[in-house]
Amino acid sequence: MADLSSRPIPLHIAIIMDGNGRWAAARGVPRVAGHREGARAVRRTIEAAVAHGVRYLTLFAFSSENWRRPAGEVADLTFLMKHYLRSELAELHEQGVCLKVIGERERFGPNLTAELAAAEAKTAGNTRLTLVMALSYGGRADIVAAARRVIGAGLAPEALNEQIFARYLSTDGIPDPDLLIRTSGEERISNFLLWQLAYAEMFFTDVLWPDFGADEFARALAEYATRERRFGARPA
């Protein structure tokens, strides 16, 4: 693993976990096998984030568009989410991970919705890493929901600015991502954190998500350290 001790580390990393299906197809196994291996990659990535001192990690676990997939695959994904939550929660809590969920969690039904809320409550006091799971999440829907909250709050149009609007997003209290990672060779953001990724650096890798681990995580950090972040200003 590369020595990154003297290099800047992103405060917040967001990841689009892509390639489970292609990983399974390449091995001639059912797609659910790719999703299971993807869950193992989640654990490796959380461990790597903790090891490098990353404070926020947001994972695009289930998009609002994923509901269009065959019912059987959606059921498999939902089952795996329940299994992961039940099997990993104690370890996450022990590692000091605070779990937060964004997205339309209620679409997964009352049982999983309640389990997610209980997991958030159990880990709420942890401060080592905030793990944000985006479930049934869409960036456009997030912005529309924020606009509705602004209207519902009766905020005067002239009082609204970017900082105030951001408080009405599902990520209120969470800093914007510094780095976006997407696996599997695709190079788009797919309706993920559209507002929040405005100035994020982007790292695209051909590695399929089930094969993602500490080495590729470190490679993304090393690439990030070479970027000059100007936020629209001229170079110094």
Q: Is 18 a residue of the active site?
A: yes
Catalytic hit among 20, 66, 142, 161: 66
Specify whether 206 is catalytic: no
18, 76, 142, 178: the active-site residue: 18
The conformation of residue 45, written as its DSSP 8-state character, comes to H
Task: Look at the block and give the residue holding tokens 């461990």.
Answer: 47
Amino acid, single-letter form, for residue 44: R
Can you tell me whether residue 23 is helix, strand or coil? Answer: helix
- The phi-psi region of residue 49 (left if phi > 0; otherwise alpha if psi is between -120 and 50; otherwise beta) is alpha
How far is Cα 89 from Cα 42, in angstroms, rounded to an integer?
13
Q: Which two tokens stand for residue 52?
A: 């490098």
Of 6, 68, 65, the closest CA to residue 221 belongs to 6
Among the listed residues 36, 126, 51, the one whose alpha carbon sits nearest the alpha carbon of residue 89: 126
Q: Which amino acids are annotated catalytic?
A: 18, 66
